[in-house]
């Protein structure tokens, strides 16, 4: 079945530092999405990125298909970036969406 | 604005009792999903559906049933709730652009 591995499991940074989150998958990529889960629990879609690089403000997502990995880069981190970041892999064959375990990011002031 | 509404938002159930979690979407999406999340873990897929009156098993379907009576509604049913089913449950819908829209979650405590 599909396997999605995220690293690191947790990351603590000082405000202003950059964060690099990784997602590796064991099957051929269909599409990749990144989500942010607020401390209260709700989830927000950040990127839909099956390949290449996409930017949104201080966030950059890069997916390299042949290496079966996707990354999320957060520049100049802020305390409001704290939360859990999840990547998800979509299988176009059966539309099954599989999540990684997430990276818990803590930004200290 | 795409919307996915879950009910109830919170529930305490007795072991062995029946629990129904409901999900309603106004996105006109074909795909709907039920996930559970345990403290400190990611989301695991329980059931999903790509058309009304049809459901598919996800990665952890044991102990759960699902029902999709219409495009807008997708329910998760625990016929005999157990302690191990204490978790937060998320419903989501997806359209052809493969972007998931999540509900706010339903916190279930089985005692």
Tell if the CB–CB gap between B50 and A35 is shorter than 8 Å: no
DSSP-based three-state secondary structure for B85: helix
Exposure on the CB side of residue B65, measured as CA atoms within 13 A: 10
Kindly report, residue by residue over A75-91, the tens digit of the pLDDT: 999 999 999 999 998 87
pLDDT at res. A96: 81
Say whether pLDDT at B6 is over 80.
yes
* Minimal-distance CA residue of chain B relative to A104: B40
Average pLDDT, chain B: 93
In whole angstroms, how large is the CA radius of gyration of chain A? Answer: 13
Q: A41, A46, A50: best mutation site toward chain B, by most B Cβ within 10 Å?
A: A41
Contact A95 B88 (CB under 8 A): no
Would the pLDDT of B91 be above 90? Answer: yes
Q: Give chain A's end-to-end CA distance (angstroms, integer).
A: 41
pLDDT tens digits, residue range A15-68?
999 999 999 988 766 788 999 998 878 898 898 888 899 999 999 999 998 888
Yes or no, beta carbons of A43 and B50 under 8 Å apart: no
Q: How is residue B12 annotated by DSSP?
A: E
């Amino acid at each position: 079945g599909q396997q999605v591995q995220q690293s690191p499991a947790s990351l603590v940074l000082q405000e202003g530092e950059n964060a690099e989150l990784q997602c590796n998958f064991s099957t051929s990529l269909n599409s990749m999405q990144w989500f942010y889960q607020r401390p209260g629990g709700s989830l927000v879609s950040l990127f839909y990125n099956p390949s290449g690089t996409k930017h949104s403000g201080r966030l950059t997502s890069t997916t390299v298909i042949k290496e079966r990995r996707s990354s999320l880069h957060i520049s100049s981190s802020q305390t409001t970036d704290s939360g859990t970041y999840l990547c998800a892999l979509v299988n176009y064959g059966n539309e099954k969406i599989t999540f990684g375990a997430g990276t818990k990011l803590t930004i200290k002031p | 604005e795409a919307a996915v509404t879950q009910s109830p938002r919170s529930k305490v159930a007795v072991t062995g009792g029946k629990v129904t979690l409901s999900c309603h979407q106004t996105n006109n999406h074909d795909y709907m999903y039920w996930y559970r999340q345990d403290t400190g873990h990611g989301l695991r897929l329980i059931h999903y559906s790509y058309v009304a009156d049809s459901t598919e098993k996800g990665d952890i379907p044991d102990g759960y049933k699902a029902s999709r009576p219409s495009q807008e509604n997708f329910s998760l049913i625990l016929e005999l709730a157990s302690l191990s089913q204490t978790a937060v449950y998320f419903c989501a819908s997806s359209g052809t652009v493969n972007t998931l829209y999540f509900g706010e979650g339903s916190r279930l405590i089985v005692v």
